[in-house]
């Protein structure tokens, strides 16, 4: 069952770039918020036009802070409603439902060295990393791949000492050489990458080729899952209910539209919280949680991102 957990009021809105909006949110009565750790996110329920959107956004405020939650949302041109709602509909004073914060991308605080690589809006979890005492206690560096024009956008959340923050963009002399950067790291370094699929895959492939231990490589995906596809029918085996999944909605969204409340956290195919059994039909896997063997067997699906390859799926629901 989806637990809203919190009611948050929009305290401030600030457009920090043409496609980036910073929001500050707090409790209705000013009571302290539950503390959050570095890398945590909050799942927000956002009212759209004819649809409710549930989007997860990383918190950029300092770990443990309880006065307000801060998020930065990029307006996605192909938005199905979540980022569009944040940029076009939300106003100061609006109240929105949210789950308690969750964290599937925390820094390894026992590590002696931290190397962070961000792509675009994937910088957001690292803005809280840089305020974490465990990260600050060790050697650390943040490399940001972004538009040249956005170098200064995140300055209010970056440390005064910029010697550990490096910006890269698509121009000669400014591109990030991922293999070279990884090759020069000490053996004790933990690697973190957060960004679009192409960047994540490039970093993970380079780390694997260089022999980085898997337990020292950590990733979180932003905006890399293709949304929508051919419509299909989901048959719920236990209840016999039939749910039509439209071209422009996920299987999870269709289930929620029908009043069902599957457990979910990230809504991006990474955490495994919404894992569901498949009794019949062939899933089209788009997640980053299931192993290759699990995907080949076709007995499980992540309804937050994955779909059917055929006209129907029979689910163990």
pLDDT at 100 over 50: yes
Mean pLDDT check: name the lowest of 5-9, 93-97, 120-124, 158-162: 158-162
For 294, residues 6+ apart whose C-beta sits below 8 A from its C-beta are 300
Residue with tokens 């000013």: 30
Q: Which of 55-59, 94-98, 219-223 has the lowest mean pLDDT?
A: 219-223
pLDDT at 3: 43
Mean per-residue pLDDT over the chain, rounded: 91
Q: Is the dihedral of CA 300, 305, 307, 313 positive or negative?
A: positive
Residue 166 has pLDDT above 80, yes or no: yes
**Alpha-carbon dihedral angle through residues 291, 294, 296, 300, given to the nearest 10 degrees:** -130
Residue 205: band (very low, low, confident or very high) from pLDDT cuts 50, 70, 90:
very high
**Domains, the chain, ordered by start:** 6-98 (2.40.30.10), 113-221 (3.40.50.80), 232-315 (3.10.20.30)
Q: What is the pLDDT of residue 80?
A: 61
pLDDT (mean) for 18-23 = 95
> 69-74 and 20-27 as β-strands: parallel, antiparallel, unpaired?
antiparallel
The set of residues, in sequence order, having a beta carbon less than 8 Å from that of 67 and lying 6+ positions away, is 26, 32, 33
Cα 146 to its chain centre, rounded Å, is 17
Identify the pLDDT of residue 1. Answer: 36
Asked if the model's pLDDT at residue 259 lies above 90, the reply is no
Please report the pLDDT score of residue 229 as a whole number: 87
DSSP track, the chain: -----EEEEEEEEEEEETTEEEEEEEETT-PPPPP--TT-EEEEEEE-SSSEEEEEEE--SPTT--S-EEEEEE--TT--SHHHHHHHT--TT-EEEEPPPB-SS---TT-SEEEEEEEGGGGHHHHHHTT-HHHHHSEEEEEEE--GGGTTTTGGGS-S-GGGEEEE-SSTTTS--HHHHHHTS-TTEEEEEEE-HHHHHHHHHHHHHTT--GGGEEEEESS-S----S-EEEEETTT--EEEE-TTS-HHHHHHHTT-----SSSSSSS-TT-EEEEES-EE---SSS-HHHHHHT-EE-TTT-EESSSEEEE--
Do you know the residue count of the chain?
A: 317
pLDDT for the residue numbered 173: 87
- Give one word for 30, left, alpha or beta, with left for phi > 0 and alpha for psi -120 to 50: left
48 versus 98: the higher-pLDDT residue is 98
Model-level pTM?
0.84
Rounded Cα distance, 20 and 39, in Å: 19
2 pLDDT higher than 50 = no
- The rounded distance, in Å, linking the Cα atoms of 45 and 99 is 8
Give the pLDDT band of residue 79 (cuts 50, 70, 90). low
Q: Are 252 and 264 in contact (CB under 8 A)?
A: yes
Mean pLDDT across 10-25: 96
């Amino acid at each position: 069952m989806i637990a809203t957990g919190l009611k948050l009021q929009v305290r401030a809105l600030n457009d920090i770039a043409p496609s980036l909006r910073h929001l500050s949110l707090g409790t209705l009565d000013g009571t302290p918020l539950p503390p959050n750790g570095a890398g945590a996110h909050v799942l927000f329920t956002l009212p759209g036009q004819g649809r409710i959107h549930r989007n997860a956004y990383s918190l950029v405020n300092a770990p443990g802070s309880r006065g307000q939650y801060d998020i930065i949302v990029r307006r996605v041109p192909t938005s199905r409603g979540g980022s569009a709602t944040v940029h076009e509909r939300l106003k100061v004073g609006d109240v929105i439902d949210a789950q308690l914060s969750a964290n599937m991308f925390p820094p390894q605080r026992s590590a002696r060295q931290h190397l962070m690589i961000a792509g675009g809006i994937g910088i957001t979890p690292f803005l809280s990393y840089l305020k974490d005492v465990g990260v600050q206690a060790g050697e650390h560096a943040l490399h940001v791949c972004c538009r040249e024009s956005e170098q200064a956008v995140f300055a209010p959340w970056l440390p005064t000492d910029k010697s550990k923050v490096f910006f890269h963009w698509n121009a000669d002399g400014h591109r990030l050489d991922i293999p070279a950067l990884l090759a020069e790291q000490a053996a004790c370094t933990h690697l973190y990458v957060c960004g679009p699929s192409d960047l994540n895959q490039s970093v993970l492939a380079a780390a694997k080729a260089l022999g980085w231990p898997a337990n020292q490589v950590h990733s979180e995906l932003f905006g890399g899952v293709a949304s929508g596809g051919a419509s299909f029918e989901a048959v719920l085996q236990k209840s016999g209910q039939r749910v039509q999944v439209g071209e422009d909605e996920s299987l999870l969204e269709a289930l929620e539209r029908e009043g069902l409340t599957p457990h979910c956290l990230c809504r991006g195919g990474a955490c495994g919280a919404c894992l569901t059994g498949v009794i019949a039909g062939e899933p089209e896997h788009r997640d980053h949680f299931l192993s290759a063997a699990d995907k080949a067997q076709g007995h499980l699906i992540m309804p937050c991102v994955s779909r059917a390859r055929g006209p129907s799926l029979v689910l163990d629901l």
